[in-house]
Every structure is written in structure tokens, then in C-alpha cells.
Structure 1
């Protein structure tokens, strides 16, 4: 048998990470997708066909349990009725494994996880079932940076092996990766909406209908208006920034208004030698310094 490779999209992995980081505790659930083997033919320079088997496990969806240890007991024995309730509208045959997310631990399976995995394989009759383990941890005290380690395990002959994981993103795709993978598993609500509005976009033979030209013009017009508004906002921001820079360069200080000028002027006339109405020089200890004697001519 060919060595398996687990494939998943960055969106699925990001949704699992986001859901876990927004919880107060660890999380676990089931992984849905497909496991298949394909025969690939590679022609080398000597025109000799090189045929090999490729085993791919495609993760397309995950279903989270509402609480930990929900479908198994303390001894690791699984309950099929609870599993069906967790899957709800998802078909049991689409289950290809389960996952666990643990905080601040190493990427190794625990003894209970190994027992649950083996019992789950026998209960669902899935010999190729995988276990997806993610172990997030905070790298800064403020919690602004997180580190997420992940690993996938598969048991064979009682031994658990770490198998490689391929995250397919639009920026780093191998040739025809989406053409060789099956359509993702969708929810029942999505299928109902698609069947209800399918006639508005597709013809009877399955071909795409001509899109309403008036709707296209309206969308194009609104997009141009948005671009114009964005350009105006950027221009206003630049003008505000230039004004702030010019004000800082000139050193414009806030002018403090002088109040009660008439009152102070009259007080100086009535009390010309009052120490409260004239400035004095003080020492570090707060003692007034005597004024120097004035020279008389």
C-alpha cells in the first residue's frame, strides 16, 4: 500500500484554529472527507511509463463536539448513538477520522487517545481512520502571538505513524490539484438553497445561463463609485497629515487667554509693595532670596 498523504485547505485548518482559540477549553470532533487511492502515470525521458499508487486523504469538513469526552467514556469505549447525534445531517460514511485540540502540550498522542482511536476504527469499520492533533500555545505574555503545531497520526499493526500533511492554498498549488480532488462535502442547508435557486443560474442541460447585463452594469457602476470615494478619502487623509506636519514644524503652541487683567491692574495700584503681586526668587529649600540693592545715581 502506498504511503498516505493528508490534504486539506487553508480555510478548513484556519476554521479549526479559530474555533478552538475562541473556546475556554480544549476541543475535539470528527473529520469528514474522503480517502482514495489513485494510479498515476509518469513518463520519464526514456519514454518508459512509471506507474505508482498515490493514497490521498482529503479533509473537507469538521464537526465539533459540544463538550469533551462526549462520545466515549473514561475507558475509551465509544458510543455509536452519541456519534450519530453529533454528526446529525452528515453521513457516517464520510467520517475519515477525528481530531483533538490541546493547549500547551506536545504533539504526541496520549494513551487514552490511542485507545479511543482503535475503538473508533472498529465501531465505524474504518481501517484508514486518522487522528488530527493540534497543540496551540501562546508565545507572548500579552497573548498577541500564538503558535499552532499540528500532526496527523494513523495506526497500522498497533503502531501509530506520523503521516505528512499538505495544506493546499491558492498561492502554492501543485498542478491540477483541484481537478483530481472530489467536490467537498456540504451541509444540508447549502444543498437545499442550491436546489431552490439552481434554475436561476443554470439551464436544463447544466450549462451556465447568460448573466443579466443590466445587473452587471449596476455592479460595475457601484464598484467605480466605491473606488472614487476611496480616492477622495485618501486625498483628505493626505491633506490632514500635511497640515499636522506643518503645525509641528512651526511649533504652534496653544495660546492661553489672559483673564482678569483689569482686576490685577487695580490690585497693583492699591498694594504696590505686596509680595503676592510680584515675582520672587526662591532657593531649593523655598526660602526667598533678597533682591540686590539698587544703585542710586
Structure 2
């Protein structure tokens, strides 16, 4: 399944990154954003993203600006759209307004994929004239580099729409997961939130600094998680007995740690402590373009994973 003409609603960080990926795969892309400065912002994102895609072998030559339209007019963006990637603000009332506006300009069969990081597809499609074509396709930032796409159907979503979306994003080289049951935050963001809750707890309780928490993740489990997830990681930690040995013999130590995990509150003192810690950590990277450093690192990791067949 491929779509030649794609409309993106919202030209911010996520929308512009999606645009880069779609353009790299030969699509004509129309980005709609009410901000008159959106065209310049999208152009800057594309200029930064295109070398990344070239490094991964996904793009050749200059950015194909002749296949890109950036407009404030939703009707113009939707005029020939075969697929819509919605990237508006993550507020349910706004999402429903966007879906209603899109339906005024789209054929009934054009899929509407929301990039929402937390909202439920069932809530977004409520009140839609054609709710069967509305679903969640959540990327991880930046979507032109990180391959994960989480597909989530709402109560009214047509199963054929999800299957077509799986084929579409898979054809873009994405690692597609179909979430079996709707839940706030889907899969990856819930996992991230669980880790971050404990990260905040460790700082709030004076157990570690912000910088040391970040180092502990990036220089420890984060390196393993870039190659395989927690279950396979613990399988290897079980030695010759694999995961069966690990979960039966070391599982109780996991349960003991679960019992000790914190549930911090984001009070003003805790927020101030976190902000001060991040500011101090940023001082260590003075003069470094962290976005470019991150993206270069992601490219290197993706290339290493490919070489290892992971």
C-alpha cells in the first residue's frame, strides 16, 4: 500500500519530520499550518533532516521542494490527498475540530492518522461523520529517523484501515506495532513514563543528581535497549537457562525493586530541582548542538543495528 499524495496537518517538529520521510519515499506532500511562519520552519527542518535520510540511504539529491506545498489553507492541502497525517496540538477538543474540518474537504475513504502521543483513537473519532477511517499512528520523535510507529484502532475504526496503514508505514521502513487495546500513552510512552517516574523520584529523594540519572540510563541499560527490549535483555541475563531461569530465580529481585519504586509528585520544589539539574547538565554541553549530536548518534545506532541484523 502506497499513497502518492499526503496531507499533513500541523507543520511543527513532528509534522515537518513526517514530511521529510514522506518526501524521501517519493510522495507529494502538502503541509497545512495556520502559522504564516510555518513554511520557513518546515524548510529548516527539511534542510536538517535530509542529510540524515541521505546517510541512511533513504534520500538522494536535494530536497524535492517541487513535491512540497506548505499552506495555511486546509482545503488546499486536502485537495488531492489520499492520506492524512494529523499532527495538531495534543488536546482532544482540538483533535475533534481538526477531524471535523478535514471531513469537509476529504473523500469518505481517505484515512486520517493521528500522531497523538497519549489520546485515544475512540475519543478522537467521536462525532466524526466517517469514524472508521480515523486511527492513531504514533511516531517517536524524530519520526524521519526513529522507526517505531504505533497503530491504535478506535472502537469504530475499520480493521482494513489498520491493515492498510500497517502496509503503508512498513513500506516506509518503519517498525510497525499494532496496539491490541487502547490505553492512554499507547506502549512506548507508557514505558518511557514508567522510567521517568523513577528518574524523578531518585532526584526528588536526593538519591542522585539529574546528570547522574541521565548517565545511568544512557551508559547502562539504554545501550542494551537500543539493540533489544527488556524481555530479550533479561533472557540473555539468564545465562544458559535464558529467560525461564531469569524470571524464576531472579524475578523475586525484580518484585522487590517494584515494591520500592517511587511515586513522586511534580510539586513546585521538585520542578525547580529538575530544572536546575537540567540547566547544570546543559552547561556540560555548552557549544554542542544537542539535536545534531543526537541525530548523528541515532544514525550510527540504526546503521549498527542493520549491520547486526537487529
TM-score normalised by structure 1 residue count:
0.23
Instruction: Give the strand-richer structure, 1 or 2.
Output: 1
Instruction: Give the helix-richer structure, 1 or 2.
Output: 2
